[in-house]
Amino acid sequence: MLSMSDGYAEYTTKKGDAYDLLAIAAYDNEKMAGHIIKANPQYMKTLVFEAGVKLKIPILEKTKLPASLPPWRR
């Protein structure tokens, strides 16, 4: 469940959610998980969530990557 406020979407976890899965759902990129972790420092050491934890998911602007980047950097 997502709701928006102050540059963040609020997400209530389901049992088994993890930062990489949340990043894929929010940003289509698991490497963006650091943004979610930084927005929720109280859960920094949590690897797999129980149901019902409220997390802030930062709303980020999509940036266009330069075409000159090699594929492994995109």
CATH number at residue 44: 3.10.350
Number of domains the chain contains:
1
Domain extent for 16: 2-60
Q: Which residue stretches of the chain have pLDDT < 50? A: 1-3
Q: What is the structure's pLDDT at 50? A: 98
On whether residue 68 sits in a domain, the answer given is no
Q: What is the structure's pLDDT at 60? A: 85
Q: What is the structure's pLDDT at 34? A: 95
Cα dihedral sign, 20-23-24-29: negative
d(CA 3, CA 67): 34
Q: What is the structure's pLDDT at 5? A: 52
Q: What is the structure's pLDDT at 1? A: 46
On whether residue 48 sits in a domain, the answer given is yes
3-state secondary structure of 24: helix
For residue 34, give the amino acid letter: G
On whether residue 18 sits in a domain, the answer given is yes
Which residues touch 33 (CB under 8 Å, ≥6 apart)? 19, 20, 22, 23
Half-sphere exposure for 62 (CA within 13 Å, toward CB): 6
Q: What is the structure's pLDDT at 22? A: 97
